[in-house]
Structure 1
Amino acid sequence: MYYTYVLISLKDEMFYTGYTADIKQRVNAHNNGEVDSTKNRRPLKLVYYGACLNQQDATHREKYLKTTYGKR
């Protein structure tokens, strides 16, 4: 199972979208500063996640959420 997720930075109120196979571990990695793209934007809060059966579906959902239509 893969997960597409959206985090919001409580520091600058910007969103971060990604996908992972282990949602709890990935959110912890973001909040512990282990992810370069979000380490200066901590703390982060999980605001959305959706489960997908395979990695391809998760990456398609992630790409959609990064579009203008997906952000709405």
Structure 2
Amino acid sequence: MYYVYIIQSYKNNHYYTGHTKNLKQRVIEHNSNNTKSLRNKGPFHLIYVEKADSLIKAIKREKQIKSYKGGKAFKKLMDK
């Protein structure tokens, strides 16, 4: 099982989307500044999670969600 997730920074209110096999550990890593891409942009809180049956499906869904950023589809997703 994989997870596609969206976290939001308390620092700058930006959204970040990713995928992982271990959601709890990944959020801890983000909040511990152990990820290069988000270092010094946290702390973060988890605001959205979806399950995916495979890594390929998780990656595809992550890319799809990233393509929504700032649009109506992204806002609709956040309202769930």
Query: TM-score if structure 1 supplies the norm length?
Result: 0.93
1:3 correspondence with 2:3: yes
Q: Which residue of 2 aligns with 1:71?
A: 74
CA distance in 1 between partners of 2:9 and 2:74 (Å): 15
Consecutive aligned runs of 4 or more in structure 1 exceeding 6 Å deviation: none
Describe the SS at the equivalent of 1:66.
helix
Cα distance in 2 between the residues matched to 1:64 and 1:29: 24
- What does the per-residue CA deviation read over 1:25-49, in whole Å, with 9 as the maximum and x for residues that have no partner? 0000000000011121111000001
CA distance in 1, matches of 2:74, 2:35: 22
Stretches of structure 2 that go unaligned for 5 or more consecutive residues are: 76-80
| Identical positions, percent | 36
Could you tell me which residue of structure 2 aligns to residue 30 of structure 1? 30
Q: Taking structure 2 as the reference length, what is the TM-score of the superposition?
A: 0.84
